[in-house]
Structure 1
């Protein structure tokens, strides 16, 4: 079994062979946006791609074929625009990009696609898109946001948070593990904010988008001051391992 999982490092012939083997296509989906005073804007791109790559390595290690496309780098980030440094798409443009990627994979013979999302603002949109594409292209298209899929493996690793938030202990730790040059250690003392994007009395099932500027002066949700590279490595291992288990479940694709 070939171990290369990156679509862009495989030849067309090799990709045709992967399709014939019923390989799973993982499409990491992200955003280019503000991540507080202490991190560069590419956090979601790095983390979505990193989680996808490590998940694919676990699947390949189990002896099953898998390929990972390049990361979709722009998503739905209107709620970060007030801080600057952010690129956002509207839903039609975003869904159109995803549609083109999934349609291309389907035309090449791939029958299973996972939209692996790494940006909160995309969460609902990727799930709607996956449902539409399953019907439109007649293949299996799954979607999920990685921290929503496996919260049970994230919380035990963190000290100051109950889960992954934004530019927080979890995201900063994983960036320290994957791209420490994108973290500004001297700004970490400022890297904290409220522990939720919801106002008092707003349950998780009630959505109302508001600008992050109105929620957090720093642009952070959570507390990045407790971040370490060690936690980041532990998070990446736990998240990718559990997601691989979920995607390896044959009942999911039946």
Structure 2
């Protein structure tokens, strides 16, 4: 029997099953972008988080593959835990337990191939804690090396060089996220920006808040106003978005290099 045809691609789903088995090994890394379909104010597309995660993961996989790391891009998970935007028409979300089951089942499927490493590239904050849970499930159940990371480091406006000062609270549809979509898909961004909506009282607190403050709290995005924006998209621009995007690709590519060499102990 002749060897299976392996097309020149880094996209898992573009291969046949036999070609995937022939092309991968226990050194291969399955890279899974995960985002969300959720309300992003009146100016950004519902698939913003999925768009960014897929674009960053795709560029990072191509970069590290060119340097000899055997990374493969899996299809993007788009329906995720977005119940903070449950109130907004257009949001498509699943329960956390449903998403966890899906992540475990994807891991189980990966474990049926030679691949023994999976890395989730996440574009949606609501998935973070659940991905931590999934990492351990995939390790314990299937012996996979499992990792998760953001699709970049984020970039709240800091008030410098004409950027709005989001007081560290620009977490959703604000300056940074709007700028990235302007770079990746300008045709999907509305020409008129919604007004600034920064929760300044929370920004002044020492312990309670977003962005790694130690005291978390339950919230839905309409707690902060009717637009669903948490931040200040005014002044967003594609050039800043390009820099944020490239920083995200650098970060994910560097992380994949470390994952390639990772060992326990």
- TM-score band w.r.t. shorter chain: 0.7 to 0.9
Distance apart, 1:166 and its partner CA: 0.9
Of 198-207 and 128-137, deviating more is 198-207
Query: Residue 151 of structure 2 is aligned with which of 135, 143, 146?
Result: 146
Larger radius of gyration: 2
- In structure 1, stretches of 5+ residues that fail to align are none
Q: What is aligned with 2:220?
A: 211
Q: How many angstroms apart in 2 are the aligned matches of 1:157 and 1:121?
A: 31
Change (3 A) 1:193 1:70: same
Tell me by how many angstroms 1:10 deviates. Answer: 2.3
Structure 1 residue 83, shift from structure 2 partner: 2.2
Give the corresponding residue for 2:229: 220
1:107 aligned counterpart, secondary structure = coil
Tell me the alpha carbon deviations over residues 88-118 of structure 1, each in whole angstroms, 9 at most, x when there is no partner.
1112110111111111111112111001111
Does 1:246 find its partner at 2:246?
no
Supply the distance in 2 between the matched residues of 1:253 and 1:185 (Cα, whole angstroms): 48
**Does the 8 Å CA contact 2:170/2:232 hold for their aligned counterparts?**
no
8 Å CA contact 1:31, 1:76 repeated in 2: yes
- Shifted more, 110-119 versus 4-13: the winner is 4-13
Q: Check if 1:137 corresponds to 2:142.
A: yes
Which of 132, 149, 165 is the aligned partner of 2:171? 165
| Distance of 2:16 and 2:195 partners within structure 1 | 43
Structure 2 distance, partners of 1:198, 1:125, is 24
Aligned to 1:192: 196
Normalised by the length of structure 1, the TM-score is: 0.88
The one of 175, 195, 215 equivalent to 2:181 is 175
Instruction: Give the match's secondary structure for 1:141.
Output: strand
Task: Provide TM-score, normalisation by structure 2.
Answer: 0.84
Equivalent of residue 236 in structure 1, options 239, 245, 265: 245
Q: CA deviation at 1:21?
A: 6.1
1:72 aligned to 77, 100, 115, which one? 77
Q: Does 1:9 align with 2:14?
A: yes
Does the 8 A contact of 1:36 with 1:220 survive in 2? yes
Of 135-144 and 156-165, more deviation after overlay is shown by: 156-165
1:45-100 Cα offsets, whole Å, 9 max, x none, are 11111111111112112121111111111111111112222111112110111111
Gaps of 5+ in 2: 1-6
CA root-mean-square deviation: 2.6
Q: Answer 1 or 2: which has greater helix percent.
A: 1
* Correspondence for 1:116 among 118, 121, 125: 121
Equivalent pairs counted in the alignment come to: 249
